[in-house]
Every structure is written in structure tokens, then in C-alpha cells.
Amino acid sequence: MIMNVIFLGTLGIYHPLIAAYEYLGQLKTDDISNLKFWGDRISEARGDPLLVGYDQQGNGVYSLGAGVDVIMTQKSIEQMVKIFDRSEKDLIVQTVFIKREKILLFLHRAGQIKAINRLVTPLVKYLLNQELIAIQQQVENFRNKVRFD
């Protein structure tokens, strides 16, 4: 059965994106800023799920930003799945958290000013490189929790 997997976090263009690539086995940690959609403010502003790719079972793997209320967004998506008479087997939402969420949000907002964005981009990259192991552990926990046949 084909389904969709959404990695959900405050900003879909950063840590959930890293988690999605890690889940697909395509994360190259030498330069995370080379990931497709990395730092793509236009995509983030649209609020659309970002299709990162497909896993070995053909499941669509997405990254999505939810702003500050990640848990409420997760619950809302899960309730919508039920309302539309779908099951958990059609869509799985996996939240991705980092310790420095508030700093990341601040940097992202500050980076809206073009002159400041040049300074913000390497700071965001540094911050998320510090969180890589934690993100990878969350993905591994997700893999162990959800097994696809």
C-alpha cells in the first residue's frame, strides 16, 4: 500500500528537510545547504508540503513547516485524515524537533532582510550541523516505530 510520510517541524526548509533526506538515505552531511529546498523562503512562505522523494516502497516523503505550533498542526492533519475517511496507513506525520527551535525561528525571521540574510544563512547551517545527530536519531526512532511491508 502506497502512503505519504510528512516530516513536520517549525520550518520545513531546514530540520524536517534534513530528516526527510536522512529517511530516504540521501543525506550528505558534508554540506546540508546543498539539499533541494534548503533555505527556500518562497516555498516556506507558500506553506506547501515539499516533496523530497520516494522511499523504496514508493511512499511519498515530504517536509513541511508549521511555525511555532507543530503539535497542533500534527493533530489537525491527523484529524483531517480521519474526517476524510482515511487511515493512518494513508499518511504518517512525524514531528522533528531541535533544541534551538527559537533561535532558528529568530534567525529565519531576521533573514527576511536581504542584507542580514547573508549573515543568517551560515549561522543556520552551523546551528543545524550541531543538531544533525539528534535529527538522525529521531529518524532512526521513526524507522523502528513504523515498518513498511
| pLDDT tens string 78-119 | 898 888 877 777 889 999 999 999 999 999 999 888 888 889
Return the number of other C-beta atoms located less than 10 Å from residue 90's C-beta: 13
Global confidence as pTM: 0.91
Q: pLDDT tens digit string along 28-80?
A: 888 899 999 999 999 999 999 999 999 998 999 999 999 889 999 999 988 98
DSSP for residue 12: T
114 Cβ contact list (under 8 Å, min separation 6): none
Question: For residues 20 and 76, is the Cβ–Cβ distance under 8 A?
Answer: no
Residue with cell 542580514: 116
Q: What is the DSSP letter of 104?
A: H
